[in-house]
Structure 1
């Protein structure tokens, strides 16, 4: 049985790569109208830039601003496609790619695969989260069917969900090093720095614990020894 790819479908990619430029062009087209309306208000910030935009409502000015919207939309679409999670599932291994980051996981190392909201989660035999990342259409039947057909241990929910506890600073049940990492991770979550939060989660796992988030609130549990 051959490999299967999960993530943005070809249709989704075309929709993003076409829809973003179209949306950007439309935004550029209506921007002078919006600027004109805002300038009728008694007070509005950025009056100077708005007056400049108002003048670009016809001829080459409008063409320029619509073209700029199309180019910005196209750039945003390319970035969105490149940064979308791609998962290639084979009988012996699975590969997870986001941007420049690539992770390969042997099938024999996987204990459980499941979806948590919009996140795909892959656990190893010590219950470490090898993957915990947003996957487009994560809840679709195709995702679960793909893993099941290729022999992966798909489960309906996190088998260790009841072990998680909410983290608070300087929790006495945790080693000082883990508390320090979770403190730094809380700051990364507040700053919406997903890359730093992921790296710090990996560091926490090296010390024998793992973490999941509910918004900006962290929950922790010990790893399960095999």
Structure 2
């Protein structure tokens, strides 16, 4: 059977790569008018920079603003597409791509697949989260159909949901090394470091535990070995 590809579709990529530059160009075109309007207010802040922006109205100045906006939009669109999760579901295994990383997960290692919120979660035989990441176009029926077509063990919810407990600093139920990793991960989450948080989750799993997030709070559970 042909592989199923989950993530941004070709049309989605076209919309993002074409729409962001267009939106950026429109913002650049509107900036002088917005600056002029703000300068008319009594409390207008940043008067100097706003007057410089206002002078871009017309001629080469306006063309430059539109071009800069379009280029910035194109850069943002490219990053959005490049960093979006892409999963190729095949008969033998999964190919997981994100940014410059590409890894494979053998089908024989997969014990459960489900969607939690907007995240795709794949568990291995020891309940490790070998995949837990936001997946665009993650409508549950579509994702379930793709995995079921290739014989993967789909479940409607996390089979280990009841084992998760909220983490607090220096929790006595956890080894010091795990507490240290979760403390570092909490700081990464506060700073918006998604890549660091994912890497630290992998480090936690090497020590026999796993973690998931909810409302900026970490929840942990021990790995369950067969």
Q: TM-score range by the shorter chain?
A: over 0.9
Quick check: 1:123–1:129 contact (8 Å CA) kept in 2?
yes
Give the C-alpha shift of residue 140 in structure 1: 4.1
Give the total of aligned pairs.
226
d(CA) in 2 for partners of 1:141, 1:47: 53
CA displacement at 1:71 relative to structure 2:
1.1
1:19 corresponds in structure 2 to 19
Q: Residue 210 of structure 2 aligns to a residue in which SS?
A: strand
92-101 vs 71-80, which deviates more? 71-80
* Distance in 2 between residues matched to 1:130 and 1:140, nearest whole Å: 19
In the TM superposition, residue 215 of structure 1 has moved relative to its aligned partner by 2.9
After superposition, residues 1-226 of structure 1 pair within 5 angstroms as 1-226=1-226
Q: Taking structure 1 as the reference length, what is the TM-score of the superposition? A: 0.98
How far the C-alpha of 1:3 sits from its partner, in A, is: 1.2
Q: Is the 8 A contact 2:24 2:70 kept in 1?
A: yes
Q: Secondary structure at the match of 1:130?
A: strand
* Residue segments in structure 2 that go unaligned for 5+ positions in a row: none
> Does the CA contact (< 8 Å) of 2:112 and 2:155 recur in 1?
yes
- 1:117-151 CA distance string (max 9 Å, x none): 00000000100000000100112422110000100
What residue ranges of structure 1 are gaps of 5+ in the alignment?
Answer: none
Alignment partners' CA distance in 2, 1:46 and 1:104: 51
Q: 2: CA distance between counterparts of 1:44 and 1:105?
A: 56
Cα distance in 1 between the residues matched to 2:165 and 2:137 = 28
Is the Cα–Cα contact under 8 Å of residues 5 and 87 in structure 1 kept in the other structure?
yes
Distance in 1, Cα, partners of 2:71 & 2:175 = 51
Q: Distance in 2 between matches of 1:48 and 1:150?
A: 62
Post-superposition shift, 1:38? 1.1
User: In structure 2, how many angstroms separate the alpha carbons of the residues matched to 1:140 and 1:22?
Assistant: 31
